[in-house]
Amino acid sequence: MHPDPKVWEPLADVLVRVTLSPDYPRWARAAALTFQMIYQQPVRYEYHQIAPPVLLVVGAEDHVVPLGQYATPAEAARLGDFVALSAAAAHDIPRATRVVIPECGHIPHLEHPAQFLTELLPFLAT
């Protein structure tokens, strides 16, 4: 199954535009530091310290793992279960609200924008 171009074209457009931008070096550094944090600085043990309300919006079919193509099949099988990971995170974050959007992957705000806004806007109003 090929992804719907309506979903991925805006993402590709952002990446193309940023590479042509004078801010590209700053963006590339921020992206590199983000991936470095993902792999070298797990912060899950600090979730209990998050004070403000948090809305976790997760696609039920999200199994994206950065650089997951390099994982062995056994490693890949245990990675990317965002439904379970978000449930654990919501448990650990004191004021977390978790929403799982059915039939949705990694980018709920583009895949199901109406449902995403239905969850986000009331959360922001509180």
Q: Are 94 and 48 in contact (CB under 8 A)?
A: yes
What pTM did the predictor assign?
A: 0.71
What are the pLDDT digits (tens) for 60-73?
999 887 767 777 88
Q: Which of 51, 59, 50, 63 is nearest to 119 (CA)?
A: 59
- Residue 43 has a pLDDT of 83
> Quick one: pLDDT at residue 5?
67
* 18 compared with 98, residue with greater pLDDT: 98
Judge whether residue 1 has pLDDT over 60: no
Exposed/middle/buried for 93, CB within 10 Å: 0-12, 13-18, 19+?
buried
Q: Tell me, what's the pLDDT at 101? A: 97
pLDDT for res 103: 95
